[in-house]
Homo-oligomer: A and B are copies of this chain.
Amino acid sequence: MPNVIRQWKLVARPTGLVAPSDLQLSESPFPTIQDGQALARVKYLSIDPTMRVWMADIPQYMPPVALGDVMRSFGLAEIVESRHPDFKKGDKVSGLTGLQDYVLIDGKEPRSFQKLPSIPFLSDTNFLGLLGINGLTAYFGLLEIGKPQSGETLVISAAAGATGSIVGQIGKIHGCRVVGIAGSDEKCQWIKDDLGFDAAINYKHPGWKQQLVAATPNGIDIDFENVGGEIMQAVLDRMNLHGRVVLCGLISGYTREDPAMASFGQVLMKRLRVEGFIILDYASRFMDAGKQLGMWKMMGKLKDRQTIVKGLEKAPEAINMLFEGKNIGKLIVEL
């Protein structure tokens, strides 16, 4: 065992991208565990856009990370020592590890860690993306709020991201025409050729709005919105009467002083239903959804892809990669 835990602490609130001075790599004394506690070595960190929201002192769905605290994140860890009734040495767990190389698990804490089941065809990191927050977000957001019907047109922004790429595949399983919007030709090629999207649009090409119109000849019934701002506006302008907007993320606004704005005009004129959702609201149904996602994965109906960054020291850069569009699929820091 090392003498210290290395931890990224939030020491300043970012404006824009995360600056080197916002997070500080600190060392804490290595803890001695008490009854009811366990210690786990973090193996993989899940890097998600919501982390940038947690860094900001704005109203949000969880308290922001306090200055001086270890930066919050999801992750996978392996129990190295346990006096906790639920965990034994060698167990693999997922939960809110934070950006650190060891995490102390305390039965009294609300951040619940769950043991990973061992399932053929599934790798550990699948439990961060496909079977973790992203897969569950895609599943509940699309099916509960989007309510896709066969033959409807589904458009997804940030379509080559960890969540968007799964949304599109679930949309195909449900018989939708699926159009993805992404920020590079490589991403577009992946979602179209490998994942089976019907069309993919690179919003960095001039003329992408005309391409969106051409790719949605029957208009748009469901917008699975991850981006906000100009991209959302272009999709809203193409929505059909009584369309549904699954408001999952607004990543274009997370790094700006002024949040991603859009007009509610089309929501009114087209009688759209826009619904914000946070996956934690569906926690009681995670197990059932996980089984379905795992089944689809084993049947080859869901594919995933990961962008792996190595080393805890790279975690702040990895967060910025999300906002610079540098990841394809699930972005993970491997420790």
| Chain A contacts to B: CB under 8 angstroms | 53, 58-61, 228, 232, 237, 247-250, 253, 259-278, 281
Contact = CB atoms under 8 A, between A and B. Distances in A.
A263 B263 contact: no
A332 B247 CA distance: 40
A264 B59 contact: no
A247 B275 contact: no
A147 to B, nearest CB: 13
Among all A-B residue pairs, the 9 with the closest Cβ atoms: A268-B276, A259-B263, A274-B274, A261-B261, A267-B276, A259-B265, A271-B276, A273-B275, A60-B269
B264 A274 contact: yes
Give the number of times this chain occurs in the complex, counting copies: 2
A247 B264 contact: yes
A275 B278 contact: no
A259 B263 CA distance: 6
A181 B263 CA distance: 21
A250 B276 contact: no
A267 B274 contact: yes
Given A59-B237, A237-B59, A269 B263 contact: no
Given A268-B276, A271-B277, 12 more contacts: A250-B265, A259-B264, A260-B264, A262-B262, A262-B264, A264-B276, A267-B274, A267-B275, A268-B277, A269-B278, A273-B274, A273-B275
B60 A264 contact: no
A149 to B, nearest CB: 19
A278 B237 CA distance: 17
A316 to B, nearest CB: 23
A235 to B, nearest CB: 12
B263 A253 contact: yes
A61 B269 contact: yes
Most chain B CB inside 10 Å of its own CB: which residue of A58, A228, A273 = A273
A167 to B, nearest CB: 16
A207 to B, nearest CB: 21
A156 to B, nearest CB: 16
A276 B243 CA distance: 10
Nearest to A253: B265
A256 to B, nearest CB: 11
Contacts of A259: 263-265
A250 B275 contact: no
A326 B144 CA distance: 44
Contact of A269 (B260, B274, B276): B276
18 contacts: A58-B265, A59-B237, A61-B269, A61-B271, A228-B264, A247-B267, A253-B265, A259-B264, A262-B264, A267-B276, A268-B277, A271-B275, A271-B278, A272-B275, A273-B273, A273-B274, A273-B276, A274-B274
A272 B267 contact: no
